[in-house]
Amino acid sequence: MGAAGSFAAIGSGTRAPTFSESGALPTGVTFAPDGQLSGIPGAGSAGTYPITITASNGVLSAAVQSFSLVVNAMGVTATSLLNGSPYTRTLKDTYEAILTASGGNPPYKWSLASGSTPLPPGLKPNAKGVLSCEPTTAGTLSFVGQVVGKKT
């Protein structure tokens, strides 16, 4: 997944233009008739997307501009999560896991993904991707984290 972003096409003249876009957009990105290109590129949509934006006011010739929308790939790794590990953690042991990202545009900001199973109290990824806590209950947990790179 990528960062949320937007781009506005602007036209001038005595009549307000309407805008259209041709070319394939990445999943999660839309173009509106008011000239707004916006959204969050979906997972697996890294690549270059050639698009053309046309502005028309119904009076003068249409204005046409071509662009390339570039979606950078991001990768995520967790170097110390204890999933399937032979190590045994006990209550009151301090737990820390470090999540790392690559690609995209640093600095990265980590959070729990919308719709993920909630984490136990005190356990959440900080903005730098460090999960840490002192567990107060035993058990196994699953969660979905997300990372967003800086908009360019």
Same domain for 58 and 95, yes or no, is: no
Same domain for 151 and 80, yes or no, is: yes
Same domain for 78 and 95, yes or no, is: yes
User: Which among 71, 94, 122 is the end of a domain?
Assistant: 71
What confidence tens digit (pLDDT) does each residue in 3-52 have?
A: 567 777 777 767 788 899 999 999 989 999 888 999 888 878 889 999 99
Same domain for 62 and 133, yes or no, is: no
The residue range of the domain holding 59 is 5-71
Same domain for 113 and 145, yes or no, is: yes
Give the residue carrying structure tokens 């602007």. Answer: 10
What confidence tens digit (pLDDT) does each residue in 55-84 have?
A: 998 888 889 999 999 888 877 776 556 544
Structure tokens given for 90: 């006990």
Confidence at residue 1, expressed as pLDDT on a 0 to 100 scale: 46
Confidence at residue 54, expressed as pLDDT on a 0 to 100 scale: 93
Structure tokens given for 101: 């990202």
Same domain for 22 and 82, yes or no, is: no
Q: Is the peptide bond before 107 cis (omega within 30 degrees of 0)?
A: yes
